[in-house]
Structure 1
Amino acid sequence: MKFYGINYLQTQSNLNDYLKYIIIFSTLFVLIVVFSLYMRHRLQTKYRDLTIIAFLFLLFISGVQYADYTNSQNVHSQSSQMVNFVRLLSKEKNVSVNAVFASSVQLTDGVIVKVGDGYYRVNLSADQATYSLVEVWLTNPDISIVNN
């Protein structure tokens, strides 16, 4: 079971977002190059066809990116909620913020937190305004801590 520290929760970045941006900007670059070739050689239809293909691909990728953007905004929001929750829990338990680890990067009901040597299950209310901690014991004590 993996547990994530506060440093990882604060600095996690999504490589997929960067990859999508690279694809979009490279397609835009190809579109500009092919369109300029089409404007130069108007009689050759291959550049016009390549321009249309690149434009449609850019349009498709932009639509996919917008859908992923709204999803990633929700994930980032929940990740920042987890950072705030870890800070709040460290104050409540009077431990260092670096001694609190969570089994998920998002604040959800049922997440397991490690505070010092103890493990707790977080029960959130429906509106996530209140929570309760229930002490739990792991059946598989083989854990790894990610704190980059």
Structure 2
Amino acid sequence: MTFYTYDYLKGGQTNWAIAKIVVIALLALAFLVFMVKYTRNKWDMKYKDLSIILGTLLLLAVAIQYSDFTNLRTASVQSGQLTVVIEKSAKKLGVDPHSVAINDTSRNNNMLVKTPKGYYSLVFNGSGSEFLLVKANLYEPDITVKGE
């Protein structure tokens, strides 16, 4: 069973975003260079072909980046909801939020919270605005914690 710490959920996984933007910028620059060379040398077909190839790669990279952006936005909303749950759980139990971990990255009714005081099950009300912490005893838990 994998648990995710408060810091892991709060930090996000956006390390590759800058690298992707740099790749897109380099593709766009190379595309512009080959388009200028093609317009200056109308009879040199290699620049036209290279422009078409780089334009296609640029469109593909932008589409992938847009897809990743929408996935990241959805994940950040979900992790934001989870960090609020962790903060409220820590407050109710009287522990530091940084010592609390949760076993899922999306909110549902079968979640476990790992605290220094033990494991707790989260039971949400119908609207999902409040929850109940129930002490849980795990039988032979195989636990890994991401973010420690």
Tell me the secondary structure at the aligned position of residue 66 of structure 2.
helix
Aligned to 2:97: 97
TM-score by length of 1: 0.82
Q: Aligned partners of 1:37 and 1:117: how far apart in 2?
A: 68
1:1-148 pair list within 5 angstroms: 1-125=1-125, 127-148=127-148
Greater shift in the superposed pair: 118-127 or 36-45:
118-127
CA shift for structure 1 position 18:
4.1
The gaps in structure 2 that reach 5 residues or longer are none
Counterpart secondary structure, 2:37: helix
Letter in 1 for 2:7: N
Partner SS, residue 145 of structure 1: strand
Shift of 1:126: 5.1
Mark the CA change 1:18 to 1:108 in structure 2 (over 3 Å): closer, same or farther. Answer: farther
Give the 3 Å change call, closer, same or farther, for CA 140–16 of structure 1 in structure 2: farther
The CA distance in 1 between the partners of 2:50 and 2:123, in whole Å, is 55
State the secondary structure of the residue aligned to 1:28.
Answer: helix
The amino acid of 2:138's aligned partner reads L
TM-score (norm 2): 0.82
1:106-135 superposed Cα distances (whole Å, 9 cap, x missing partner): 433322111223212223345422223333
Q: Distance in 2 between matches of 1:97 and 1:2?
A: 18
Q: CA deviation at 1:16?
A: 4.7
- Quick one: structure 1 residues 109 and 47, their matched pair in 2 at CA, closer, same or farther if it must change by over 3 Å? farther
**CA deviation after TM superposition for structure 1 residue 41, in Å:** 2.0
SS in 2 for 1:114: strand
Query: CA separation of 1:147/1:63 partners in 2, compared to 1, >3 Å: closer, same or farther?
Result: closer
SS in 1 for 2:119: strand
Residues matched between the structures, number: 148
